[in-house]
Amino acid sequence: MKAGRTMDSNTNVQEQNKNSKLVYNIYDIVSIVVSALVVIFLVFTFVTRVLVVSGDSMLPTLQNGNSVAISSVDHKFEYGDIVIITQPNALEKTLIKRVIAVGGQKVEIDTDTGIVYVDDKPLEENYTLEPTYEKGNMEYPVYVPEGYVFAMGDNRNNSTDSRMTFVGLIDERYIMGKVYFRLAPFGQWKVD
């Protein structure tokens, strides 16, 4: 009888060990998944966000429906940055535009030639869909005050941007972040 009890107790010990390992493995997996979700939440809340482009104002650089990753960490803006703008405007929309000039710079547009000038120098704008023939209703030259940017869409003749007084100059405090790369369509990462 003792041999039977020993086998039963060994079997019970083995089953308990298996159950303990199973519980430990499940706990380990759950803790890894929860930790990963917390890290993802923190990154997408404080460092990076994903937004979907709506509209054609950034053609040919960005198309309607593209998903882009933006970083809200860097708040030093310069010419060429593509930014997400949350500044209240008459359209009641969040805007995605390219920074053309920053505080302390002068902007002029020659609609006859389609050339944009910043500080009396023509911009080399190989990213635009076509030359800039629309100047909006701003009075030129426009002097950008410190803490503001002058932003325009790449589809210059089909973009509501800083050239229109109801959008105007963009207060840097209303820039959510810079676009760093495209997520979708897959494989077309660059936005420059």
Q: Which residues are catalytic?
A: 57, 97
111: its two tokens: 């609609």
Q: What is residue 33's DSSP assignment?
A: H
Q: How far is CA 191 from the centre of its chain?
A: 11
Tell me if 80 sits within 8 A of 92, measured CB to CB.
Answer: no
Beta-ladder partners of 102? 149
Residues in the chain: 192
